[in-house]
Amino acid sequence: GAVVSQHPSWVICKSGTSVKIECRSLDFQATTMFWYRQFPKQSLMLMATSNEGSKATYEQGVEKDKFLINHASLTLSTLTVTSAHPEDSSFYICSARFTGFRETQYFGPGTRLLVL
C-alpha cells in the first residue's frame, strides 16, 4: 500500500513550548490529509481536515489557534501544538487521502507527545 511518514515519532517537551509534527505522503500526492488524536484505550478522534493550499477544517471542540495546521504542498502537512500543556500529551496520527484506483486513507506511524 501507499506510504505515509510522520516525524518525529516521539517528542518529550516542557510545558509552554511548541511542537511541530510533519506528515508526508511518500509515493502519492495527497490534496487532503487528516489529523487524529488518540488517548490510551480510546478510539481515534478526528481533529481536523487539512486541504492543500487552503485553511484546515477543524472538528468541534478543537482549538484552531492551539493546533495550527499547514498543508503547504501536495505531500506535506504539519501540525503545530502551540504552548503545549500536559493535557495535550497524546498519540497524534496523520492520514493521507488516496484517490487512486479506490478512495481510502493511509496512516502515518503516529507521534507520541509527552508534555512535562
Partner 1 sequence: GQNIDQPTEMTATEGAIVQINCTYQTSGFNGLFWYQQHAGEAPTFLSYNVLDGLEEKGRFSSFLSRSKGYSYLLLKELQMKDSASYLCAVMDSNYQLIWGAGTKLIIKP
Interface pick for partner 1 out of 10, 14, 43, 54 (rule CB under 8 A): 43
Give Cα 43 to chain centroid, integer Å. 16
Q: In Å, what is the CA distance from 62 to each residue of 1, 30, 75, 81?
A: 30, 23, 24, 12
Minimum distance from residue 20 beta carbon to partner 1 (Å): 18
Annotate each residue in 45-64 with x if it binds partner 1 (CB under 8 A) or - if it does not, as one string. -x--x---------------
Q: Which residues pair with 92 in a beta bridge?
A: 37, 111
Q: Is 69 in the site for partner 1 (CB under 8 A)?
A: no
Annotate each residue in 77-106 with x if it binds partner 1 (CB under 8 A) or - if it does not, as one string. --------------x-x---x----xxxxx
Q: Are strands 19-25 and 4-7 parallel, antiparallel or unpaired?
A: antiparallel
Q: Is 110 in the site for partner 1 (CB under 8 A)?
A: yes
Q: 34-43 as b/e, with b when 16 or more CB fall inside 10 Å? A: bbbbeeeeee
Binding footprint of partner 1 on the chain (CB under 8 A): 1, 6, 34, 43-44, 46, 49, 91, 93, 97, 102-110
